[in-house]
Amino acid sequence: MRANRPHILIVDDQEMSRVLLQDIFAEKYDVTCLESGEACIEAVQTNSYDLVLLDAHMPGISGYHVCKQLRENPATANISIVFVSGLDTVEERLRGYEAGADEYVTKPLDEDTVVARVESVLAARIAVKNIESQRQEAMHTAFQAMASSAELGLTIRFLQASFQCQNEQELAKQLLEATEQYGVACCIRFAFGGQEHLYNCAPESIEAKVLEKITTKHRILDFGARTIITDKHVTLLIKNMPVENPEDYGRLKDNLTVLVDGAEARCVAFEINEKMAQERQAGIRSLAGFADKKLAEIREIILRQSDLTEDVIDGIKEQIEQAVYRLGLDEDEEKALIASVDQAISGASQIIQHSCALEARFEEFTGELHKLAHYE
């Protein structure tokens, strides 16, 4: 048999008819000849035929019964069948079509007619096959589009959830939930500040040892049903990729790569936030140190001011006493003068007290700065 040539099965109990039909079709088609309905039914179980030229009236099982059996069997229901009959009545033709025939030709055979009928049936068969192929392709495309849409939804939901994560533990949880929805089992490695943490991975497992040795030299590594997708902070090991389905395999790898990219972006944000927090704490500590220094200076100034004020007050009191003695004031004038002096001294004392209160408030402020500086 030659490749890509339709295969015709001729079933007729008359040898002359078989030979004639074989001569007509042997040049363009692969031809097999059988002499009974029983042989035909047996042959179609083990061989593939595109068309059967079937004698309607044969000893044993008639062509009509053979046709019905072929149509009732799902494995042979789509074989094209052309009846060849010596009877050319409306009843016979209707009987043939009711049995499931595609065409009906009568004996004696006219070569042009039988060739035209066979070619027409085969062309229709090819057209049906093409339509079925297009239908299946359209269905496949539709299913793939629906699958891609659903997977895109999973990816978007993960990215949205990752924005809310405040640490790598929360991010690992979201990433594992997303990969589980994709139907794959995964292990994760996060690397931050020289430290590595594994998630969904036993410490002594093969996966753990592989993740410990993997580097960022290769973005994606495939080995059997396992795939590793690596970035600076995130490494994802998938343990059960669908290698038996190349289309699903490629689409899944693309989607999982997007998940890793999203997780990596969030890790970079963690790193930036940590750096900003450290810089903020360093700035607060520096400010607290500066405040301590200034508080010590203020305390020293207030202490000197207090001592100086007391010395001035003592000097004024001594000078007043001497002036009272020299001026020769009577008792009432002396009391009035001393009362005025005492009032002035009391005001000076209040100024000193206010300075001490100011020092206390500033000390409270520096205390709060120290709390912020040591807040984690």
213 neighbors 219 (Cβ within 8 angstroms): no
The pLDDT-based confidence of 280 (bands split at 50, 70, 90) is confident
More confident residue, 189 or 296: 189
Cβ burial of 15 (10 Å; 0-12, 13-18, 19+) is exposed
Closest CA to 20 of 53, 49, 42: 53
pLDDT at position 128? 82
Burial track 271-306 (b if 16+ CB lie within 10 A, e otherwise):
eeeeeeeeeeeeebeeebeebeeebeeeeeebeeeb
Judge whether residue 145 has pLDDT over 60: no
- Cα distances from 184 to residues 227, 252, 260, in angstroms, run 11, 9, 14
User: What's the DSSP call for residue 110?
Assistant: P
* Average pLDDT estimate for 86-110: 87
For the whole model, what pTM was predicted?
A: 0.49
Kindly state the tokens that stand for 314.
């003592």
- Cα distances from 250 to residues 128, 208, 245, 284, 334, in angstroms, run 32, 25, 9, 51, 108
